Structure 1
Amino acid sequence: MKLLLISFFVTFTVVTNAQQFKCPPKDGSYEDPIQCDKFYECVDGVPKEKLCPDGLVFDPTIRKINKCDQPFNVECGDRTELQPAQPSRLCPRRNGFFAHPEPSVCNIFFNCIEGDHTEIRCTAGLHFDEYSGTCVWPQSAGRQGCDDTTTKKLKDGFECPKDGQIDANGQLIVHPKYAHPTDCQRFYVCLNGEEPRDLGCQVGEVYNDESQRCDAPENVPGCEEWYKDEPAPKAAGKKS
């Protein structure tokens, strides 16, 4: 009897809410005024209440049949209410992109589809941002207490400059390169402008800071005689 009363109450509430909603003259799907993941399908002026899959919200601006999308793609405005969450392991809701449950882990997030999760790692140096659903620079994500798992300083003391590098078009270079101060053959690459890597040109070449690539020694001022004192390589097949 108790279950019957609860079922009647839920059914009555849904029917009552649908009856209170007034359909526009044109058939279609229309948002609920207070709940962002609720909408109404109107046919011949009669509304039928529906819910987006848990974790998604209704976007009336989408020009397709399925108008449910990720929350970071939808402007809900005053429609702040949501259906009760249906969480599962590592998924606060059945669908969506969610940060790692450990606040200090900022470079890992989970893509949840109907309660099943897939772990995704951001590119080195980036943090996951729930407000955009993407990996962004740490200063843009603004997350606190993150463990810095990337190496910020190499053994020789090199650190990536905070100002970065600008290309000829005035755009910030994603993975800038820098010449080694004393070794013509070596150079540094800063992954995403933050994580340094110590690299080197093949024997016989030196790093050209102007062209940002390995080059012949005679084309790089100051490195013309870098290999002058190196012994000539032995020809293949010959013994000393």
Structure 2
Amino acid sequence: MQQSKYVVWSVTLIFWGFLEALSPEGIPAPNYNCPEPNGRFSDPEQCDKYYICKKGEAEEILCPEGLLFDNSIPNREKCVLPHNVDCGAREFVQDRAPGSDPRCEKANGVFNHDDPRVCNKYLNCDKGVAFEMPCPDPLYFDVEIGGCVRQENLSEYAKRCSEENDYLEIDGFKCPGGDTIGPQGLLQQHPVYPHPNDCQFYFTCYFGKEPNKFGCSKGMVFDADNQQCKDPSEVPDCSCWYECKENSACPTNCNPDCTCPVA
């Protein structure tokens, strides 16, 4: 079978469950005139705003920050990643909300890696939390399409990197290399390691070589023994990562394992 010269590894599936789970709340919009008694209709000026009409009564809805309202398919209008949305005259979007990871251009979406030397990884931002994701070798991330493509197919908007500047260190962590046996006693193709100084995060070494940083949900910590995210109370070395325990001898400043810092 002849191989296609234009290979795209789409990141859409990463967001599929995320998009389906979102159900934005609306507010009454009594001044909006519904074009039809029932349906979803785009705002004439703002590309991430739309209206739901039910029996002629309208509600105003904002897409989750970073997504746009796609009205290209009748009766299948929805909020999606912006890469294939034609906003036309709908030139405005909501402002970036505070509190998101500074590496995220918007709270949700896929973006260039923040290190200028890295082109074979990208940032997957989910509700303001940034996760580093690898492109399958030998593809590179193209922000124009929101996916990974071969180097010769990169668009004019894609970031360019030199192969001599492969980024093999994150937060001071480098993949140690060699064979790694996981908690189940099996050889890991992509070994997992705890972050050297942050209990919430961990690294997956892509084919044992390239580190990719991931994180547990806020309030959870990574258990290096079984490589799962758990409540801090279940991980002795990180039980005081977020706060010292009430009966701690050093309640305002303690180590992750609840011991007091050496004076």
Relative to the length of structure 1, the TM-score reads 0.50
Relative to the length of structure 2, the TM-score reads 0.46
Determine which structure has more spread, i.e. the larger CA radius of gyration.
1
Greater length-normalized contact order (CA 8 Å, ≥ 6 residues apart): 2
